[in-house]
Structure formats: C-alpha cells, structure tokens
Structure 1
Amino acid sequence: MDLTALGWTADRVAELPSGCEPARVLRVDRGRLTVQAADGELRVRVAGVRSVDGTGPAVGDWVALRGDLAVAVLPRRSAFSRAAAGRTSTLQVVAANLDVVLVVDALVGGARLRRIERYLAVAWSSGAAPVVVLTKADLCADVTAAVELVAEDAPGVPVLAVSSSTGDGLGAVRDLLGPGRTAAMVGHSGVGKSSLANALCGRAVAGTQGIRDDGRGRHTTTARQLHLLPGGGLLVDTPGMRELGLPDDGGGLVQAYADVVEFATSCHFQDCEHRTEPGCGVAAAIDDGRLDPARLTAWRKLQGELHRQRVRVDARTRSEERNRLRAARRAGRERSARSR
C-alpha cells in the first residue's frame, strides 16, 4: 500500500530508526496494535515504547516496526488529548497526527453550547483545525437559525449541518478530508457520530442505537479506530466522552473564548477580574449585547477547572520527586551496608 494515502510524508523518513519500517496505528487494545503498513494490515506487539510526552501509542500514531514489534513512536504533529477522569490529571491521547477535529453535536433537543465550547477548547489545543458538525439536520425545524446560534458561540470555527439519513451536508465534510488527511470525530454519546462515520465510509463500520429513555446517549463505539475513506481521507471514530478534562497548556481555552479575551484587552485595569471593576471591557460588551454573559460564566468555570488541574499536577510532580529522592537515599544506604 502507498503510505502517502495514510498521511505519510517524505520528511518523516529521517525519524525512522535504522532497519525499521513505518506503520500507522489503526487500533490499540490489550497491549497490541493493529497497524497499516506497506505490506498490509498487521497485528504487532509493543515494546514498552512511549512518545516524547510519556504516553503510549495512540490511534493515528506512526510507529516504527522491526518485524512484528513496534519499537518507537514517531514524533506527533498534533494530538487530541484530554486529562483523564479522576484526581490524577494524567494525560490521555485520544488520537494523534490529525489535520481536523470534528466536534460533533446533534440538532435535536437544543444546542448544547457549553459542551461544544469545552470540546473546542480541547480541539484548539490539539494543533489540528476544529470544525463543528451538527448532525440530525433532518430532525431540526430551523437548521439555519441553529447553525447561526452555534457559529456566534464558536468564533473562527466553521459550523456544518449534516444529515446522515438523507446525505445532506456530507459533501462539505468530505471536502475537509482529501487524500492523506486525517480527522477525528469527538463528542458526547448519542449525538450521531457512528451514523456519520458509516455515512462517510460508505459502509457499516460502527454500530448504531437509539437514545435511552432518560434522553442520554448510548455508547455504540467501544474503541477508537482509524478508517480509510473512499475518497482517500482518514477518519478516527471515538467513543462518546462523558468527561473531557482540559489539557494543561491552556492555549485552547484562549482560542475557544477569543471574543472574551479580546474584550478583556480594553479593560482599564490589567488585573481586572471582570466583576465590578470600573472600566471593564468585558462588562461593557455584556451591557451592550456584544457578549453573552453565559460565555463569561463558562470561561470562568473552565479557567477554575484548569487551575485546579495544574495544582493537582504540581502536587503529583512534588510527590514523585519526593519518592525518587527517598528511593535514592534508600539505595545509597543499602550500598553502604553491603560494603561494610
């Protein structure tokens, strides 16, 4: 297989260890990788390899193969990553080497603007271009109004409406994915990612189910997987994410709330908290209708979450350093005792 169809570029040759062949990770499960190499699809073992950020191979990664063993993860050009659920804030790479992140939500039950904002904040941090895809357009009474509402809340991000049932709008999504270009679909359970994946792939690659009686989505995709599209693009289908922690860099938050950040530049005080301070540019924007106050509230909430996350990471780093020093002292005492 010509690996350029999978996104391989000539400049990556220098990244390959000597005597190795490149392959792209299609799926990760049970300590083994399903990869696409020039010779075809293979199941390979992993030799405890890590990317430069300390995480293991992820769907979309390029790995170096030596026989049936993956011995290295090549440098990532982009990665959609989240802080894993729980108290540790460990980084979890959802998909790597993406050109586009499709933030998927549904045009039924009203726009979930705060949820879309969170996904966009993580998507902007990935290094790929975010696009909002609103599914189930055939079930929406006023698609134009719904798209405009989301577009106002997602500055600088294209917003597309599609119907996987009728095919409306799918061409605009396919246009994003030419040969060798990779997209990942991310979103909550039940928003139509599996139906969209099937429609884009032209075949059933993911199971679909209806919404539960309580209105919550069902997990129909159980593992991340990279699919080759008929037009030559690549699509990563991901399970629904009920928890999506922000990456630690905070850059995505600035881009997702670019309007709030821009209004803040006109504040009279540099340390303005946008509450009751005189000369607040953000408050002025809310007063004259240029900014939805709900966006300011959401921005503050995610900033607070990011701050708490960083505190946890710092605490973990301090704890790991203390443990390292204790182990070094213990080893020193044991060496001293043996030498007597």
Structure 2
Amino acid sequence: MSPREYDETDVRIRPGRRGSRPRTKRRPDHADAEEAMVIAVDRGRWTCAPGGDAKAPPVTAMRARELGRTPIVVGDRVGLVGDLSGAPDTLARIVRVEERRTVLRRTADDTDPFERIVVANAGQLVIVTSLADPVPRTGFVDRCLVAAFAGGLTPVLCLTKADLADPAPFAAHYAELEFPVVVTRRDEPPDRLAELLDGGVSALVGHSGVGKSTLVNALLPEARRLTGVVSGVGKGRHTTVAAVALPLPDGGWVVDTPGVRSFGLAHVTSDDVIKAFDDLASAVEECPRGCGHLGPPADPECALDALVAAGTLRPGRLDALRRVLVALRPGHAGAPSPDR
C-alpha cells in the first residue's frame, strides 16, 4: 500500500477559545443613564437615590466592569443603567461617576499616604463635639476644620450637651473664623441646626459618644439610629458603623459618618487651607516658597503679617487661623498617633 499524500485540506485549525474576532475597546457612552446619588455602601453594592430624590424607591447597584476600581462613596453623583425599579432582588449598574464638587478626605495618620474619601459633594461639614462627657478637644476640631477648608466644605461647629457646661469659652476659640456655631441641649430640639441643614447635603463627623446619632434621631426620628452610652474613660462605643445619607423631612440629606478617634491630614498643605479664604488666598502668593503661614519664628516672611500691618486683616482673625494651621505641623498634640 502506497503511503498517503497529505495536503492543506487535511490540516485542521482550531479556533481560539475567545474566538477570532478582535475585542473592541469601544464602550457605550450610556447617554441614557439616569443620574442618582449614592446614599449607602455595603460590600460591593451601592444604594442609590435616583435623581437625588428621597421619595423615589432606592435602587441597589453594582459597579460596571469598565469602571475598574474607581472608588464610589456616599454622596457621589453617578449614572445608572439597568433595572431602576428598586424592586427586591433587582440590580442596576453604575456606569459613570460625575466629577466631585467637594470631597471630605482623611488618612489614618499623618504619615499614611493612603487617602480615605469619607463623603463626596457635601456642602457642609458639621463638626459635632460635646461640651462635657466627653470633654471637648480643640485638636480634633482644628483638624476637621482643616479637612473642611481643604475639601471645599463649609464648616459648622455643633456643640452638644450645653445643659452640662457653658459653650461660650470653647466657641470663643473660633469666633474670628466666622463660620456658624450651633449649640444644642439634650432637653431641647435642635431647631437651629435643622435650619442650617435644610435643602443641602451635610456630613456629620465627631468622636464616638459626642451625640451625632442622638442629633440624627432628633432631626429624623424615623431613622432610628442607635445611640451609645459613653464609657467611664470618656470614649463611647461606635454606634454608626458606615456612612449613610438620610433624607431630611423638608428636603436635603444628612450623612451620618462613623465615629472616629483620629483625623489624619497627610494629604493637606497650608496653602490648601488658605485657598478657602477669599480675602487671604491672593495675599499668600507673595509668601516665600514653603511658607507654612504660621508667622515668626517658623515663617518670618509670611505675607499675612503684612496684611495685619496694613490694617486689612484683623489680628484676631489671623491668630485664629494660625491656631487651626498648627494642626498640620508634625508632632502637634492633636495629631493622631500611628497606632490609632
């Protein structure tokens, strides 16, 4: 028997597993995506309010593959596609994250390069501190102020438990900075705070046990947030375990954040803070490079001192600002330790 002769018809080419069609890098632009606001985050799922409307059924969504590891936090404005009915067991997709107008960031400590975005697009940062049980700490308030100024948020200082101590001495530290200071008591409704929060998105931040969740319960009783009992050493247990945006009765949202024991500022510079003050931002352009704006002896050529000498800046206002800027100095008493 003569050997068989083979030709090209006897060769079988197996197609690749993924097919022979090249994969396109083009993605749909999702022009029909519906805008929504992220109101909660939990283990790879995002709860969203379509149109930012608290009355619309909330939609559960996942992050679209094309977004990769793009961080999405409470307050983000996102684009949704898919099932937006909000019915049980339905899932939409987040296909777009809009540019953030404001960002509240913090780091674990002042040496940690990793930034944690706490809330996006909030107009106000309500810094909640108690006047007693636990005692107020200027260091923590100063650091929150720095984060608010650097992130574009308007700070509001809320002093709780005024039935236990006089708020005037502590409030005096910040009077020259001219931002709102609200005083609340446990035996009175927080009407003034409710007026400030009405219609916007505001984040609440503070140490555990200072009364954040109690305030939320008073502003929005149906939220049913847990309240904790402050321990004997002045540090309460955490009663809010994740940031969540809650709708206010007359419009707007309040973001209740987890109680924190430290507020790192590794991502902030003194210039970031100064930019928040319209009357000072242009003046510091005349400062020497690397100026921390703390004045002599650390910064003897700071241009802010020239404004005081010219009578265009009140000395008390500059002193108050510099007390806040000290929070950025390494080793400051209000700085969180690396193990916190």
Provide the TM-score with structure 2 as the length reference: 0.69
Q: Hey, what does 2:31 align to over in structure 1?
A: 18
Q: Does 2:76 correspond to 1:43?
A: no
Return the index of the structure with the highest Cα Rg.
2
Is residue 198 of structure 2 the alignment partner of residue 171 of structure 1? no
Q: Which amino acid aligns with 1:126?
A: G
Is the Cα contact below 8 Å between 1:138 and 1:163 reproduced in 2? yes
Q: 1:252 to 1:133 in 2, by over 3 A?
A: farther
Query: Does the Cα contact within 8 Å between 1:123 and 1:252 map onto a contact in 2?
Result: no
Q: Which has the higher helix share?
A: 1
1:42–1:214 distance in 2 versus 1, CA, 3 Å: same
Judged with a 3 Å threshold, the aligned counterparts in structure 2 of structure 1 residues 299 and 87 are, in CA distance, closer, same or farther, namely closer
Q: CA separation in 2, counterparts of 1:49 and 1:177?
A: 36
For the structure 1 residues 237 and 277, does the alpha-carbon distance in structure 2 shift closer, same or farther, using more than 3 Å as the test? closer
Alignment partner of 1:136 out of 161, 181, 188: 161
Q: For 2:126 and 2:180, how far apart are their aligned partners in 1?
A: 10
Post-superposition shift, 1:119?
0.5
Equivalenced residue count is 280
C-alpha offsets along residues 225-254 of structure 1, whole Å, 9 cap, x if unaligned? 000011112100000112212262424543
Equivalent position to 2:94, from 51, 70, 79: 70
- Asked if the contact 1:35/1:43 (under 8 Å) is kept, the reply is yes
Among residues 72, 90, 105, which one is paired with 2:129 in the alignment?
Answer: 105
Residue 120 in structure 1 maps to residue 133 in structure 2: no
Partner residue of 2:206 out of 175, 181, 187: 187
Q: Distance in 1 between matches of 2:35 and 2:286?
A: 50
Distance in 2, matches of 1:96 and 1:291, equals 29
Deviation digits for residues 242-284 of structure 1 (CA, Å, limit 9, x no counterpart): 22122624245437999999999999xx9796238989997xx
Q: CA RMSD in A?
A: 4.0
What percent identity do the matched residue pairs reach? 33
Is the counterpart of residue 241 in structure 1 residue 260 in structure 2? Answer: yes
CA gap of 1:257–1:60, structure 2 versus 1, over 3 A, is: closer
Cα distance in 2 for residues equivalent to 1:147 and 1:299? 17
Instruction: Name the counterpart of 1:56.
Output: 71
Query: Is residue 103–residue 121 contact of structure 2 (8 Å, CA) maintained in 1?
Result: yes
Cα 1:69/1:166, change in 2 over 3 Å: same
Q: Does 1:203 align with 2:228?
A: no
For 2:260 and 2:65, locate their aligned partners in 1 and report how far apart those are by CA, in whole Å. Answer: 27
Q: Does the aligned pair in 1 maintain the 2:143–2:327 contact within 8 Å?
A: no
Note if contact 2:140-2:262 (Cα within 8 Å) is conserved in structure 1: no
Change (3 A) 1:211 1:83: same
Q: Name the SS of the counterpart of 2:210 in structure 1.
A: coil
How far residue 25 of structure 1 moved from its aligned partner, in angstroms, is: 0.6
Other structure's SS at 2:149 match: helix
Report the CA distance between 1:49 and its aligned residue. Answer: 6.4
Q: Are the aligned partners of 1:58 and 1:96 in contact in 2 as well (CA < 8 Å)?
A: yes
Q: Distance in 2 between matches of 1:259 and 1:111?
A: 30
Deviations 1:13-70 (A, max 9, x none): xxx841211111110110110111265112111125659xx85110011111111111
